[in-house]
Amino acid sequence: MRKVKIILLLTFLICFNLSSQENEKTALYSIAYTSLPSGILEIYQTTRESSSNVESIKTKGGYVACSPDGKHFAFYAKYDEKKTWSIHTVNRDGTNWKRLTYDKNMWDNSPTWSPDGKKIVFSRSYKDAKGIWQEEIWRMNADGSEQQQIKNINGGGPCFTPDGRIVYHSKSNTSEICIADIDGSNIRKLTNNSTEDWHPEVSPDGKQIAFMSNRDGNHEIYVMNIDGSNQKRLTHNDIDYWYPSWSPDGSQLIFSAATGKRREDRTIYIMNNDGSSISPIIVGGSQAAWLK
């Protein structure tokens, strides 16, 4: 009986060791982004062995957002010589591509998934009959049905909180970061200045918001508490930094940087959530989102 126990123990230790070795080879992180030279959505993955690979989703688009279960992407693509932007979904492996919005001469962009994965909220921009630029926020079911404008709020860059509220930036120019219920009620302004605060991203625990702002001259990455308090600048450079996205555990952020004059010169960077250890990871990429 004792020999049986020893054999079982040794078997367990061997299996545990093999499992640990296998886990060491698993991805440290995976992100989806737009490859700027081609416009194709791609997944970048790096492993504990310091190797990396890029997998193409074989479809053009931008502002990719990952569903809560990690199985689907929402993104926008352009039509009519780039005059019409539409929201789409696709499986993570590039299958089951669906176009969800079809309105001509509308710029539908910046999709975000509700915490339960049942709804998608997105931005819509267009010129009205008087030539005035409109910036609206819409919601729909994840299959594209029941599309409706959230009437009480205007702006773009929506993002859900874990409890189902929406964080967004108000209309351009002197835009502010705001938070509201999904029906547009209970609006609260979280920033208050005369510059541009854009693209809020709520941390996985719902306690912080990362965003981009040009309040200090050029666009930099900032972070604040969910109630707007304790606003901090994380990046310090003379180039523009865009589109922050949180890691699933909230310990890091990725963002894009305009490292050259051409659109293709943008680079995706990674840093700790306190702004330390900034390093480039992808040259020629933008609009990156961390995957679940």
7 or 266, which is more confident? Answer: 266
- DSSP at 136: E
Residue 93 neighbours by CB distance under 10 Å? 11
CA distance 51 to 141: 38
- The residues that bridge with 141 in the sheet, in sequence order, are 119
Residue 278: which H helix or E strand, with range? none
Report d(CA 292, CA 286) in Å as an integer: 18
Q: What is d(CA 160, CA 181) in angstroms, rounded to the nearest whole number?
A: 10
Tell me what percent of the residues of the chain surpass a pLDDT of 90: 77
What CATH number does the domain containing 216 carry? 2.120.10.30
> Tens digit of pLDDT for each residue in 168-192?
999 877 899 999 999 999 999 999 9
Model pLDDT, residue 50: 64
Name the residue with higher pLDDT: 147 or 7.
147
Count of domains observed in the chain:
1
In this prediction, residue 1 carries a pLDDT of 53
Average pLDDT, the chain: 89
Confidence of residue 47 (pLDDT cuts 50, 70, 90): confident
Print the domain residue range for 127: 2-290
Q: Rounded distance, CA 50 to CA 214, Å?
A: 35
**Which residue is listed with tokens 């710029």?**
107
| pLDDT value, residue 176 | 95
pLDDT at 14: 37
In sequence order, which residues have a C-beta less than 8 Å from that of residue 289 and are 6 or more positions away? 31, 32, 33, 64, 65, 66, 245
